[in-house]
Chains A and B, each alone.
Chain A
């Protein structure tokens, strides 16, 4: 007997049985519903509040002031980042001639001194003659003089203490920098800096690039993350706060960040991304790659899966 249906011909010699696909889907949906509702009801979901600049400046004022000073001096992580934020030479990651970060260029230009410190202070200086004078002194100084003040102040911050909620350092040649930083700290503690870094010239705003970069430059945020095992060298990409499973499917991506030579390279991110792209392409192309497509025949897991079939032969 012949048939025109390719599937009938494909299954020639195979016993066909009744099978209710729709019933299977409905039963699966019921089982998943019980599982998901149960997990959600018993385990809920994590929701630790986001860290604000206000929180940071209140809980760790020395780290806040140290970071703000590095933004002003152009020594922070963002100031030295390279594309897409700055034109810092040799900052972009590359693997030989492959340099997508440099190819993409500076699409979100950020001047950390202006964007993170001087522009917010300029807004806050309205009606504040002390701050206005400090800013005037800073702007009137030569770049070399500014860097001398900032270098001296940065060095002194290593031994800074907090006295009466203010960051205190040993006496030295800092120019107006301590005044600027005291105002930055005050601005941050009121919560105003969180808003000032979101200014966009329009009422609505959904882009948190500036405040997140500023927060990321300090040690406070990363310290909290390390406490929760969320940093890159702690398998953090696949973790979530608390004991929740997080993005466990990123285990292989995270794995490369834990072992040499990846975790010691200066271009780790690009190397890992290229590796994962190659591995994903290999996975997609398994049907065409000898050895990879033959492994299932060599490791007879299929004999367990289709044991009824092989038992009946």
Chain B
């Protein structure tokens, strides 16, 4: 009886392998860190998002220093006051360029060709950033923070969230501001950038495309 070749062992499957294959297929390093882009990317509009990320790096860095020395430090130390000023102005730059980025993407209809999730995550980043900044303004422990807390309680109480999101409770606001909310913003920004790199920048409006990737994937 002739000897038969053993059948090649079927490749085993696992969640780990599935995840790896998904990442290799959807987010290869060449897409995550591409060295080539469509020539129309040379517009200033594409800079807004990158500048917002650069400002976020300053926001987080100055915030870490302020958190390390404690909430009283910047009221008593000139160095602390300067770091607080860095924090304030980097937040202003972050929001300014985030809004410019948002409007730019709106007028580019950046959600086209399967990029709706990227747009939606961007809007969530904007909303969470507003809450993060709001808790920061309340946590200042000066007249601004005091008045904003007294004034804002009416809105949070009217919304029914005042019972578990008490703007008059400095400990809660400070904790949310230096831990949970920054983690959320940074995580969402990472997810947003990954989505951008997975799909690449959108083509100009009315540009004729031979075939959309999603269509080809469905056809195959």
Contact = CB atoms under 8 A, between A and B. Distances in A.
Are A and B genuine complex partners? yes
Interface of A: 5-7, 9-22, 24-25, 28-29, 31-33, 35-37, 39-41, 43-51, 81, 83-84, 92-93, 100-101, 103-105, 107-108, 206-209, 212-213, 215-216, 221, 224-225, 230-232, 236-237, 240-241, 244-250, 267, 269-270, 272-273, 280, 283-288, 293, 296-297, 299, 301-302, 305-310
A281 to B, nearest CB: 9
Interface in B11-26: none
Residue among B147, B148, B153 facing the most chain A CB atoms (10 A cut-off) = B147
B108 A296 contact: yes
Nearest to A273: B159
Given A207-B168, A207-B172, A306-B205, 11 more contacts: A21-B33, A25-B53, A36-B86, A49-B142, A100-B158, A209-B168, A287-B115, A287-B120, A293-B111, A297-B109, A305-B43
A224 B200 CA distance: 52
A284 B105 CA distance: 13
Contact of B166 (A14, A108, A216): A108
Contacts, number: 292
Contacts of B113: 10
27 contacts: A6-B217, A7-B213, A9-B213, A10-B113, A13-B210, A14-B38, A15-B39, A17-B38, A19-B35, A20-B35, A28-B47, A39-B89, A43-B85, A45-B81, A93-B158, A100-B161, A101-B157, A101-B162, A107-B163, A212-B146, A225-B151, A230-B151, A241-B143, A244-B88, A285-B120, A299-B107, A308-B42
- Give 8 nearest A-B pairs by CB, closest first: A100-B160, A206-B171, A107-B163, A6-B213, A40-B85, A269-B158, A287-B111, A19-B37
A301 B151 contact: no
A309 B42 CA distance: 10
B45 interface: yes
A35 B58 CA distance: 11
B123 A280 contact: yes
B146 A51 contact: yes
Contacts of B1: none
Size bracket, chain B contacts: 35 or more
B4 interface: no
Interface of B: 28, 30-31, 33-43, 45, 47, 50-51, 53-55, 57-58, 74-75, 81-82, 84-90, 92-93, 95, 99, 104, 106-109, 111-113, 115-116, 119-120, 123-124, 127, 130, 133-134, 137, 140-155, 157-164, 166, 168-172, 174, 199-200, 203-213, 216-217
B160 A101 contact: yes
Contacts of B36: 16-19
Contacts of B89: 35-36, 39-40, 43, 45
Contact of A249 (B99, B111, B123, B149): B99
A212 B153 CA distance: 10
B55 A36 contact: yes
B86 A241 contact: no
A274 to B, nearest CB: 9
Contact of B150 (A33, A215, A240): A215
Contact of B86 (A15, A40, A105): A40
A230 B148 CA distance: 9
Nearest to A40: B85
A12 B199 CA distance: 14
Contacts of A33: 54, 58
A101 B163 CA distance: 9
A47 B150 contact: no
A39 to B, nearest CB: 4
Contact of A302 (B109, B111, B116, B146): B109
A236 B39 contact: no
A241 B144 contact: yes
A105 B163 CA distance: 8
